[in-house]
Chain A
Amino acid sequence: MTRTNEPDQTALTGEAAAQTGERPRRRTVDVWLTGTEEPDYTDEASQEFQPDDTERELAEQLGSVVDDDYFIEEQPQGDDERMIVNMGPQHPSTHGVLRLQIELEGEIIRRTKPIIGYLHTGMEKTAEDLMFMQGGTNVTRMDYLAPFHNELCYSLAVERLLGTDIPPRAQAIRILMTELNRISSHLVALATNAMDVGAISMMLYGFRDREQILDFFEKATGLRMNHNYIRPGGVAADLPPGWRADVTEILDTLPRRLDQYDAILEKNPIWVERTQNVGVVTTEEALAYGLTGPTLRATGLEWDLRKSNPYSGIEQYEFDVITGENGDVYDRYRIRVDEIYQSMNIVKQVTDTMPKGDYMTGDRKVAPPPRGRINESMEALIHHFKLFTEGFRVPEGETYAAVESPRGELGCYLVSTGGGKPWRMHTRAPSFYNIQGLPIMMADSLVADTVATIASLDPIMGDVDR
């Protein structure tokens, strides 16, 4: 890959684009791949990096110096004059409290700087204060559109340290729930992406159909969101009676609804014009910035953790990894629609082959004794108290477990020192990494494409800030 300091001559200026009516051609952003020779400068689209200024950095970290303003270094005169526009954090189309500082040259975005931290709740720190059994209540609130994936990821990390075996039924329930969750999350992604571009009915339909899945979640877990259902050791409760009929109904209605979405969006000239060749990212750029999920697959790379690092027995089920070609907003939309079909396929297979058995591990060091035993046996009662007051002890060590969340690779890095609480928990949140791709996706694009690009990444700010 070559990199030059020269400004790209082919990129049109604002006025020239307005005159010709041509969409400005995107300047590819050079990225520094790990292992290659270090570049002369480290200006990556917008983020300035000053390695020598350590004293100032320290002051910034301590909070005594606040520097989040964004200056134009060389102001060109005349038609090329640049302007900085602040978008968010209270903007409805930034999907939460994302703030963007956008440098405009006429109608064209030259640089973008995402600013995060407005929803920081210290969840990773809170996790150190909660026992492993309570941890699910915390992680489920990070990515609130995919709570089951967060719970599964945390549980997998804890189970990997414990070395516990999970019964097949619990594993199948986990897959059933996470795949249904992927459908509901993608429905919201489609709904909000279309709404940001102006298709209000699509927004209403998407939320309507998601509600059907949430109703099933409520039936199974008791809550629509933030379920605390997948626990270290299994799941909290067995599936409710009549679950098969509910899941079958969801699978029966969804294809009809997806046809409606296609009728609204797929060939709609407004939608196609506003999404094709917008927010383009290449495979190299996506890999260099750590983008995962539909954003990475839209560039054509077949990378899905469900195939490459199967978890919870998902390798038993047949499904395809959907990839795009252009890496633009339209491809990400198509991938989400097709992934809904794939997830439905998995859900159908799970429903057909749901094994019988326990939904919680039989390991009494992890799972509490059955309720019936407590009334009969003093030892069981003592064990119950011991387990819940001290929590189960997780062997010393560190581990990383990752699942494919609707937004990409969701990882949980867990360090235990042998106690009942994690010593450190870090979440590799897909939204956080995907947001980093905004500066390169939005470089040299039109202002009007900003909201379409943001929405196509489907960022969840609770996931970004944690």
Chain B
Amino acid sequence: MTLPGYGLLKGMGVTLRQMFRKPITVQYPKVRETPVPRARGVIALDQEACTVCMLCARQCPDWCIYIEGHKEEQEPSKPGGRVRVRAELDRFDIDYALCMYCGICVEVCPFDALFWSPEYEYTEHNMDGMLHDMDRLQDWLATVPEPPGLQQ
């Protein structure tokens, strides 16, 4: 037989002890947590590596990648050599208002043109601002951590 109200006091003891512990809450704007290496923050684009193969745009489950490109003839590397055709990127937009951060585009890219960057502070007051064009995506490339990332 226990004293009446003992269970209640025992529970209150837990909360009382908790009062003297350091809170685990991180006060965000002042203190920042370091994102994990695999964090899916924002997708960075390497324009040089992209061959406009459209694989990422086709694979995206919510169709939030927009790609346009054209073909350009290149000077032959040796005199008398064959003229090579190279695909040039005209437009590469990712609509982060639609993106669900599944990472399929990064995984399917066969030419290592897309990377995950752990940056996360890019919200906008306006929905239009969430559409990142290719130059903005290129800028994220500087923030990509060294591999190994999510895969490879």
Residues in A lying within 8 Å of B, measured CB to CB: 130, 133-134, 136-138, 199, 201, 205, 208, 211, 218-223, 226, 228, 236-237, 240, 260, 263-270, 272, 368, 371-372, 374, 381, 384-385, 388-389
* Cross-interface CB contact of B110 among A218, A221, A266, A381, cutoff 8 Å: A381
List the 10 closest A-B pairs by CB distance, nearest first.
A267-B7, A264-B11, A222-B40, A137-B102, A222-B38, A134-B61, A268-B7, A228-B102, A219-B36, A371-B152
Q: Is the CB of B103 within 8 A of A266?
A: no
Q: Is the CB of B110 within 8 A of A222?
A: no
Q: Is the CB of B40 within 8 A of A371?
A: no
Q: How far is the CA of A368 from the CA of B13 in the complex (A)?
A: 56
Instruction: Flag B10-54 by CB within 8 Å of A: 1 or 0 each.
Output: 110111001000001000000000001111100000000000010
Q: Which residues of A contact B37 (CB under 8 A)?
A: 240
* Minimum C-beta distance from A87 to chain B (A): 29
Q: Is the CB of A236 within 8 A of B151?
A: yes
Q: Is the CB of B2 within 8 A of A267?
A: yes
The contact sample of 30 A-B pairs, CB cut-off 8 A, is: A130-B61, A134-B104, A137-B61, A137-B100, A219-B38, A221-B38, A222-B36, A222-B101, A226-B100, A228-B103, A236-B151, A240-B36, A240-B37, A263-B11, A263-B13, A264-B11, A264-B14, A264-B15, A265-B11, A267-B2, A267-B10, A268-B7, A270-B8, A272-B7, A371-B152, A374-B110, A388-B55, A388-B58, A388-B59, A389-B59
* Minimum C-beta distance from A190 to chain B (A): 14
Closest to B116 in A: A222
Q: How far is the CA of A269 from the CA of B108 in the complex (A)?
A: 57
Q: How far is the CA of A167 from the CA of B123 in the complex (A)?
A: 41
Q: A260-B14, A384-B110 are in contact. Are A269 and B5 (CB under 8 A)?
A: yes
Q: A385-B55, A388-B59, A388-B108 are in contact. Are A268 and B8 (CB under 8 A)?
A: yes
* Cross-interface CB contact of B7 among A201, A223, A226, A266, cutoff 8 Å: A266
* Minimum C-beta distance from B28 to chain A (A): 14
Q: Is the CB of B14 within 8 A of A263?
A: yes
Interface centre among A136, A137, A240, A372 (most CB of B within 10 A): A137
Asked whether any CB of chain A lies closer than 8 Å to the CB of B142, the reply is no
Q: How far is the CA of A201 from the CA of B18 in the complex (A)?
A: 10
Q: How many A-B residue pairs have CB under 8 A?
A: 96
* Cross-interface CB contact of A220 among B8, B11, B38, cutoff 8 Å: B38
Q: Which residues of B contact A272 (CB under 8 A)?
A: 7
Q: Is the CB of B104 within 8 A of A389?
A: no
* Minimum C-beta distance from B59 to chain A (A): 6
Q: How far is the CA of A340 from the CA of B80 in the complex (A)?
A: 73
Q: Which residues of B contact A270 (CB under 8 A)?
A: 8
Q: Which residues of B contact A263 (CB under 8 A)?
A: 10-11, 13-14
Q: Which residues of A contact B100 (CB under 8 A)?
A: 137, 226
Does more than half of chain A's interface fall in helix, strand or loop, or is it mixed?
helix
* Minimum C-beta distance from B143 to chain A (A): 15
Closest to B23 in A: A208
Q: Which residues of B contact A260 (CB under 8 A)?
A: 14
Q: Is the CB of A138 within 8 A of B150?
A: no
Q: Is the CB of A237 within 8 A of B14?
A: no
Q: How far is the CA of A223 from the CA of B39 in the complex (A)?
A: 6
Q: A237-B151, A265-B11, A388-B108 are in contact. Are A222 and B59 (CB under 8 A)?
A: no
Instruction: Flag B91-124 by CB within 8 Å of A: 1 or 0 each.
Output: 0000000001111100110100000100000000
Q: How far is the CA of A223 from the CA of B36 in the complex (A)?
A: 10
Q: How far is the CA of A201 from the CA of B5 in the complex (A)?
A: 18
Q: Is the CB of B8 within 8 A of A269?
A: yes
Q: Is the CB of A222 within 8 A of B39?
A: yes
Q: A222-B36, A269-B7 are in contact. Are A208 and B14 (CB under 8 A)?
A: no
Q: Which residues of B contact A211 (CB under 8 A)?
A: 24
Q: How far is the CA of A264 from the CA of B12 in the complex (A)?
A: 7
Q: Which residues of B contact A372 (CB under 8 A)?
A: 152
Q: How far is the CA of A269 from the CA of B102 in the complex (A)?
A: 46
Q: How far is the CA of A385 from the CA of B40 in the complex (A)?
A: 24
Q: How far is the CA of A251 from the CA of B14 in the complex (A)?
A: 20
Q: Is the CB of A222 within 8 A of B15?
A: no
Q: Which residues of A contact B59 (CB under 8 A)?
A: 134, 388-389
- In the complex, besides A219-B36, A263-B10, A269-B4, 12 extra interface pairs with C-beta distance below 8 angstroms are A130-B61, A201-B15, A218-B39, A222-B103, A236-B151, A263-B11, A263-B14, A264-B15, A267-B6, A268-B7, A268-B10, A371-B152
Q: Which residues of B contact A266 (CB under 8 A)?
A: 7
Q: How far is the CA of A130 from the CA of B5 in the complex (A)?
A: 57
Q: Is the CB of B104 within 8 A of A223?
A: no
Give residues 59-87 of B contacting A (CB, 8 Å).
Answer: 59, 61
Q: Is the CB of B11 within 8 A of A223?
A: no
Closest to A202 in B: B11
* Minimum C-beta distance from A73 to chain B (A): 45
Q: How far is the CA of A219 from the CA of B33 in the complex (A)?
A: 13
Q: How far is the CA of A240 from the CA of B2 in the complex (A)?
A: 49
* Minimum C-beta distance from A110 to chain B (A): 33
Q: How far is the CA of A139 from the CA of B13 in the complex (A)?
A: 42
* Cross-interface CB contact of A222 among B4, B10, B150, cutoff 8 Å: B150
Q: How far is the CA of A102 from the CA of B95 in the complex (A)?
A: 44
Q: Which residues of B contact A236 (CB under 8 A)?
A: 103, 107, 150-151
Q: How far is the CA of A130 from the CA of B7 in the complex (A)?
A: 53
Q: Is the CB of A201 within 8 A of B14?
A: yes
Q: How far is the CA of A138 from the CA of B59 in the complex (A)?
A: 14
